[in-house]
Amino acid sequence: MTRSSRQERSRGRWGRHVLLPGLAASQLPSSALAQGGWLAPLKQEVFSTGALSVVLAGLTVFAATTSLVYVRERARWHRRETALAGELEATRGQHDRLTALLASDPQVVVSWAGRHTEPVFEGDSGFLGAPGATLALAYGSWAPPADAKKLELATDALKDRGESFGMTLRSKTGPFIDIEGRPVAGRAVIRFREVTGERARVMALQNDLERLGTEHQALAGLLGGLPQPAWTRNPEGRLSWCNSAYARAVEVADGSEAVKGGVELLDRSEREAAAKARREGRTFTARAPAVIAGQRRTLDILEMATPTGFAGFATDMSELEAVRTDLQRQMDAHVRTLDRLKTAVAVFDASQRLVYRNAGFESLWSLDPAFLDGHPSDGEILDRLRSERRLPELGDYRSWKAGVQAAYTATRANEDWWYLPDGRTIHVVASPNPQGGVTYLLDDVTERFTLESRFNALSRTQRETLDSLREGVAVFGSDGRLKLSNPAFAQSWRIKADLAAAAPHIDEVVRLCRPLFPQDEIWGELQSAVTGVRDAREDYVCRMERRDGTVLDCAAAPLPDGATLISFADVTASVNVERALTEKNEALEKVSRLREDFVHHVSYELRSPLTNIIGFAQLLGTEAVGALNDKQRDYTSHIVRSSGALLAIINDILDLATIDNGALQLELEEVDVADTISQAAAGLHDRLTDSKLELKVVIAPEAGPLRADGKRLRQVLFNLISNAIGFSSPGQTITVSAVRSEGHIRITVADQGRGIPAEVKEKVFDRFESHSLGSSHRGVGLGLSIVRSIVELHGGRVELDSAPGRGTRVTAVFPAAGLPLSDAAE
Please report the DSSP string for 781-795 in residue order.
S-HHHHHHHHHHHTT
Q: Sheet with 354-357: list strands edge to edge.
A: 354-357, 344-348, 438-444, 425-432, 414-419
Please state, in angstroms and rounded to a whole number, the distance separating the CA atoms of residues 242 and 224: 8
- pLDDT, residue 602, reads 65
Strand 694-699 and strand 733-741: the pairing is parallel
Under 8 Å between Cβ of 557 and 565: yes
> b/e per residue, 618-637, with b = 16+ CB within 10 A?
bebbeeeeeeeeeeeeeebe
- pLDDT, residue 438, reads 92
The percentage of residues in the chain with a pLDDT greater than 70, rounded to a whole number, is: 82
- pLDDT, residue 21, reads 38
Q: Which of 510, 513, 506, 521 is nearest to 563 (CA)?
A: 506
- pLDDT, residue 38, reads 42
Please state, in angstroms and rounded to a whole number, the distance separating the CA atoms of residues 739 and 9: 139
- pLDDT, residue 348, reads 92
Please state, in angstroms and rounded to a whole number, the distance separating the CA atoms of residues 438 and 409: 9
Secondary structure letter of residue 119 according to DSSP? P
Q: Is a pLDDT exceeding 50 seen at residue 624?
A: yes
Average pLDDT, the chain: 78
Please state, in angstroms and rounded to a whole number, the distance separating the CA atoms of residues 756 and 774: 11
Under the banding of pLDDT at 50, 70 and 90, the label for residue 99 is: low
Under the banding of pLDDT at 50, 70 and 90, the label for residue 754 is: confident
Burial class (CB in 10 A: 0-12, 13-18, 19+), 819: buried
Neighbours of 644 (CB within 10 A): 14
Amino acid in the structure at residue 816: A
In 317-424 the beta strands, taken as DSSP E runs, fall at: 344-348, 354-357, 414-419
Please state, in angstroms and rounded to a whole number, the distance separating the CA atoms of residues 131 and 134: 8
The percentage of residues in the chain with a pLDDT greater than 90, rounded to a whole number, is: 2
Amino acid in the structure at residue 742: E
Under 8 Å between Cβ of 647 and 595: no
- pLDDT, residue 770, reads 56
The three-point CA angle 313-317-318 to 5° equals 130
Residue partners of 534: CB distance under 8 A and separation at least 6: none
Question: If you average pLDDT over residues 278-307, what whole number do you get?
Answer: 83
pLDDT tens, position by position, 489-547 = 888 888 887 777 788 888 888 888 888 888 888 888 888 888 876 656 788 889 888 88
- pLDDT, residue 104, reads 56
Question: If you average pLDDT over residues 705-733, what whole number do you get?
Answer: 83
Q: How many CA atoms lie within 13 A of 739 on its CB side?
A: 7
Distances (CA, A) of 223 to 46, 304, 762: 123, 15, 93
Distances (CA, A) of 11 to 17, 60, 520, 767: 10, 17, 153, 127
pLDDT tens, position by position, 345-372 = 898 998 999 988 888 888 888 888 888 8
- pLDDT, residue 376, reads 92
3-state SS track over 206-232 = HHHHHHHHHHHHHHHHHHHHCCCCEEE
Burial class (CB in 10 A: 0-12, 13-18, 19+), 185: exposed
Under the banding of pLDDT at 50, 70 and 90, the label for residue 27 is: very low
Residue partners of 735: CB distance under 8 A and separation at least 6: 696, 697, 698, 748, 749, 750, 751
Amino acid in the structure at residue 450: T
Strand 733-741 and strand 744-751: the pairing is antiparallel
- pLDDT, residue 353, reads 92
More confident residue, 428 or 700: 428
Under the banding of pLDDT at 50, 70 and 90, the label for residue 826 is: very low
Secondary structure letter of residue 106 according to DSSP? S
Question: If you average pLDDT over residues 54-83, what whole number do you get?
Answer: 87
Under the banding of pLDDT at 50, 70 and 90, the label for residue 102 is: low
Residue partners of 801: CB distance under 8 A and separation at least 6: 808, 809, 811
Q: Phi and psi (nearest 5°) for 13?
A: -70, -50
Rg, C-alpha atoms of the chain: 64
Please state, in angstroms and rounded to a whole number, the distance separating the CA atoms of residues 105 and 124: 10
pLDDT tens, position by position, 186-222 = 788 888 888 776 777 777 777 778 777 777 777 777 7
Under 8 Å between Cβ of 814 and 791: yes
Q: Sheet with 551-558: list strands edge to edge.
A: 482-485, 472-476, 564-570, 551-558, 540-545
Question: If you average pLDDT over residues 563-575, what whole number do you get?
Answer: 87
Question: If you average pLDDT over residues 563-585, what whole number do you get?
Answer: 86
Terminal alpha carbon distance of the chain: 142
The three-state secondary structure class of 51 is coil
Distances (CA, A) of 188 to 110, 142, 162, 326: 8, 22, 7, 81
Please state, in angstroms and rounded to a whole number, the distance separating the CA atoms of residues 672 and 674: 6
Helix, strand, coil content of the chain in percent (nearest 5): 50, 20, 30
- pLDDT, residue 801, reads 85
Question: Residue 181: beta bridge partners?
Answer: 165, 190
pTM above 0.75, yes or no: no
Q: What is the DSSP string of 490-543?
A: HHHHT--TTGGGG--BHHHHHHHHTTT---HHHHHHHHHHHH---SS---EEEE
3-state SS track over 547-581 = CCCCEEEEEEEECCCCCEEEEEEECHHHHHHHHHH
Length of the chain as a residue count:
826
pLDDT tens, position by position, 762-812 = 667 765 555 555 455 444 456 677 788 888 888 888 888 888 878 888 898
Q: Which of 722, 707, 732 is nearest to 814 (CA)?
A: 707
The three-state secondary structure class of 762 is coil
Q: Is a pLDDT exceeding 50 seen at residue 14?
A: no
Highest mean pLDDT among 190-199, 265-274, 644-653: 265-274
Please state, in angstroms and rounded to a whole number, the distance separating the CA atoms of residues 512 and 493: 8
Under 8 Å between Cβ of 159 and 112: yes
pLDDT tens, position by position, 116-175 = 788 887 776 667 766 655 667 778 778 888 888 888 888 888 888 888 888 888 887 778
Question: Any idea which of 315-319, 486-490, 603-607 has the lowest mean pLDDT?
Answer: 603-607
**Where does 706-817 have alpha helices with state H?**
710-726, 758-761, 783-793
> b/e per residue, 14-50, with b = 16+ CB within 10 A?
eeeeeeeeeeeeeebeeeeeeeeebeeebeeebeeee
- pLDDT, residue 354, reads 92
